[in-house]
Amino acid sequence: MNIDLVSNRLSLRLAKPALYRELVGYEKAFSDTEDKIDGLQKSRFLALCKHAEKNSRYYHDRTAIKALNPANSLDATLATLPLLTKDLVSEHYQSLVINSPDQENIKKSTGGSTGNPFHFELDYASYIKREAVMWRGYGWAGYTYGQRALYLWGADAGVMGAAKKLKDRMYHRFYNRKMLNSFALSEHNMADYLKTINQHKPSVIVSYVNPIFILSQYIIDNNIPIRAPHRILTGAEPLYEFQRKTIQKAFQCKVMNTYGCREFMLIGAECEQQDGLHINSDHLIVETLNDQGESVIDEEGDVVITDLFNYGMPFIRYKNGDRAILSSKKCACGNPFPLIKEIKGRKLDAIKAPNGSILPGEFFPHLLKDIRAINKFQVVQNCLEELELSVVQSGVLQPADRKYIENELDRYTDGSLKLKVKVVDDIPLTASGKYRVTVCNL
Give me the residue spans of the domains in the chain. 1-346, 351-440
Q: Are the C-beta atoms of residues 386 and 417 closer than 8 Å to each other?
A: yes
In CATH, what number does 1-346 get? 3.40.50.12780
What pLDDT does residue 251 have? 97
Q: Residue 132 class from Cβ within 10 Å (0-12 exposed, 13-18 middle, 19+ buried)?
A: buried
419 to 95, 264, 387: CA distances (angstroms) = 38, 33, 5
Q: What is the pLDDT of residue 412?
A: 85
Q: What is the pLDDT along the chain (442 residues), one digit of tens a residue?
A: 455 555 677 778 877 889 999 999 999 888 888 889 999 999 999 999 999 999 999 999 887 888 888 899 999 999 999 999 988 999 999 999 998 877 889 999 876 555 567 889 999 999 999 999 999 999 999 998 889 999 998 776 555 566 666 666 666 676 688 999 888 888 889 999 999 999 999 999 999 888 898 899 999 999 999 999 999 999 887 788 888 999 999 999 999 999 998 899 999 999 999 999 999 999 999 999 998 999 999 998 999 999 999 999 999 999 988 889 999 999 999 899 999 998 876 656 778 888 888 887 778 877 887 788 887 788 889 999 999 998 888 888 888 988 888 888 888 888 888 989 889 988 876 654 456 778 888 7
In this structure, the number of other CB atoms found within 10 A of the CB of residue 133 comes to 25
Alpha carbon 415 to its chain centroid, in Å, reads 30
SS (H, E, C) the chain: CCHHHHHHHHHHHHHCHHHHHHHHHHHHHHHCCHHHHHHHHHHHHHHHHHHHHHHCHHHHCCHHHHCCCCCCCHHHHHHCCCCECHHHHHHCHHHHCCCCCCCCCEEEEECCCCCCCEEEEECHHHHHHHHHHHHHHHHHCCCCCCCCEEEEECCCCCCCCHHHHHHHHHHHHHCCEEEEEHHHCECCCHHHHHHHHHHHCCCEEEEEHHHHHHHHHHHHHHCCCCCCCCEEEEECCCCCHHHHHHHHHHHCCEEEEEEEECCCEEEEEECCCCCCEEECCCCEEEEEECCCCCECCCCEEEEEEEECCCCCCCCCCEEEEEEEEEECCCCCCCCCCCEEEEECCCCCCCEECCCCEEECCCHHHHHHCCCCCEEEEEEEEEECCEEEEEEEECCCCCHHHHHHHHHHHHHHHCCCCEEEEEECCCCCCCCCCCCCCEEECC
46: alpha, beta or left, given left = phi > 0 and alpha = psi -120 to 50?
alpha
Question: What pTM, to 2 d.p., does this model score?
Answer: 0.78
Listed residue (408, 348, 404, 419) closest to 371, CA to CA:
404
State the Cα–Cα distance between residues 334 and 315, nearest whole angstrom: 30
What is the model's pLDDT at position 227? 93
Torsion-angle region of 142 (φ positive above 0: left; ψ -120 to 50: alpha; else: beta): left
pLDDT value at residue 123: 95
Integer Cα distance of 411 and 379 in angstroms: 17
- Please tell me the CATH superfamily of domain 351-440, with its number: ANL, C-terminal domain (3.30.300.30)
Residue type at position 40: L
